[in-house]
Amino acid sequence: MIRLEDVKMYFQSRKGLFKTVEIKAIDGVSVEIDKGKTLALVGESGSGKTTLGRLTLRLLKPTAGHVFFEDLNITDLEEVHLKSFRRRAQAIFQDPYSSIDPFMNVHQIVEEPLIIHRIGKKKERNEMVHKALEDVRLTPTQEFSNKYPHMLSGGQRQRVGIARALILKPEYIVTDEPVSMIDASSRAEILHLMKNLQDKYRITVLYITHDIATAKYFADRIAVMYNGRIVEIGPPEKVVKEPIHPYTIKLLAAVPEPDPSNRFKERGVVEGEPPNPADIQWGCRFESRCQLQKEDNCKSKQPTLVQIKPEHYVACFLKDKDKS
Ligand SMILES: Nc1ncnc2c1ncn2[C@@H]1O[C@H](COP(=O)(O)OP(=O)(O)OP(=O)(O)O)[C@@H](O)[C@H]1O
Ligand SMILES: [Mg+2]
């Protein structure tokens, strides 16, 4: 459904008055998501997850590489030719408050994408809104239709966001930390709901999260990102139960205790600072934090994903050697 081929996204960032530095937010990512499947993207803050999600939605144009939606190469398509893609691919964002217009009521918020894409007459649209609200269990739908965002709980607002994304019957959805702003008690419920709707409508999903635990529940495959590259990818039972890359192992060791007060752990942060993406020239990006016995390659070359076991790929010279 979605395929990225050696995609790079470099940002120019001002440093002082005259200098600009290049931030390699995504630096050579090739990955695909099969129809109806979920790929979870995990990794600490700044690793490039949101940037990658935005690239698959063509909200960003890559610096290099190609992005395909089915057979359509969307990399350089002009906006006029992206119309049907814009309907078929949708996003659900982290903060339901920021993505919802506070002066629109629930009915207007959910109906708006239909109006933008000129779908249906008023009566048909009303019926579709009603059905979308039922899908996300905002019932009685008539009652919720007239409410404004500030009258809703965080979980209810996120349901509105989901209804709004689903009303166009998209085939592909990017969900970027969909439950991280919601209180812990409603998270599981929202995740269940999303999973059910995904199965019901056979939607392909890119699920972006800090939290490997929910990724395990949600995804068919987990991709671990570090500093703009995928360092390990495979089915959850491989990546979570038998992690191979030293970064994945550290990330799993930092997995949250169910203690919401511990924000640091919750964001899956491992000790040490990741290098500034602007400073990396060559060598493995994890090298400065890696505690394994290093070799020359680690400092001079960037490891690429190598198949270690069936369906399980890892980008690490040392682990690559273990295999043989
Ligand atoms: N528009 C931009 N201009 C300049 N730099 C950017 C821009 N967008 C992202 N970056 C940089 O690219 C890198 C990756 O950012 P990104 O938001 O994709 O990370 P993330 O994994 O989603 O982090 P988080 O978990 O905090 O959401 C960061 O170093 C960020 O500062
Ligand atoms: Mg992000």
**Packing angle of the helix pair 122-135, 106-116 (nearest 10 deg):** 120
pLDDT value for 262: 43
- The predicted pLDDT at position 96 comes to 64
Which residue owns the Cα nearest ligand 1 atom 12? 25
Residue 14 DSSP symbol: E
E strand or H helix at 187: helix 184-201
Residues with CB under 5 A from ligand 2 (ion): 50
The Cα 86–Cα 69 span in angstroms is 11
Closest CA to 147 of 131, 133, 135: 133
Q: Which of 23, 273, 279 to mutate to test the pocket of ligand 1 (most atoms within 8 A of CB)?
A: 23
Residue at 174: amino acid letter:
V
Tokens of 136: 């996300």
Give the ranges where the chain is alpha helix by DSSP (H).
Answer: 49-56, 83-88, 106-116, 122-135, 141-145, 154-166, 184-201, 212-218, 236-239, 246-253, 263-266, 296-300, 317-323
CA-nearest residue, atom 3 of ligand 1: 11
Ligand with minimal distance to 211 CA: 1
Check: CB of residue 236 under 8 Å from CB of residue 222. Answer: yes
Distance 228 CA to ligand 1 centre (A): 9
Taking 70 as the pLDDT cut, the residues of the chain under it are 96, 99, 255-281, 321-324
Q: Under a CB-based contact definition with an 8 Å cutoff, are residues 298 and 287 in contact?
A: yes
Distance, in Å, from the CA atom of 113 to the CA atom of 87, rounded to the nearest integer, reads 9
CA distance 227 to 147: 42
pLDDT at 16: 80
pLDDT reported for residue 64: 96
For the domain that residue 28 is a member of, what is the CATH number?
3.40.50.300
Mutate to test the pocket of ligand 1, among 7, 9, 11 (most ligand atoms within 8 A of CB): 11
> What is the predicted pLDDT for the residue at 39?
97
Residues with CB under 6 A from ligand 1: 11, 13, 23, 25, 43, 45-51, 210, 277
Amino acid at 317: F
Q: Separation of 322 CA from ligand 1 center, angstroms?
A: 33
Nearest ligand 1 atom to the CA of 53 is 18
- Specify the DSSP element, H or E, that contains 248: helix 246-253
Q: Residue 88: which domain range?
A: 2-323
Counting ligands in written order, the one closest to the CA of 12 is 1
Q: What pLDDT is recorded for position 323? A: 60
Of all atoms in ligand 1, which is nearest to the CA of residue 47? 21
The closest alpha carbon to 189, from 141, 151, 216, 154, belongs to: 154
Pocket test for ligand 1, best of 44, 50, 211, 270 (most atoms within 8 A of CB): 50
Mutate to test the pocket of ligand 1, among 8, 12, 44, 49 (most ligand atoms within 8 A of CB): 49
Terminal C-alpha separation, the chain: 33
Number of domains present in the structure of the chain:
1
Burial of 167-196, coded b for 16+ CB within 10 Å and e otherwise, reads bbebbbbbbbbbbbbbeeebbeebbebbee
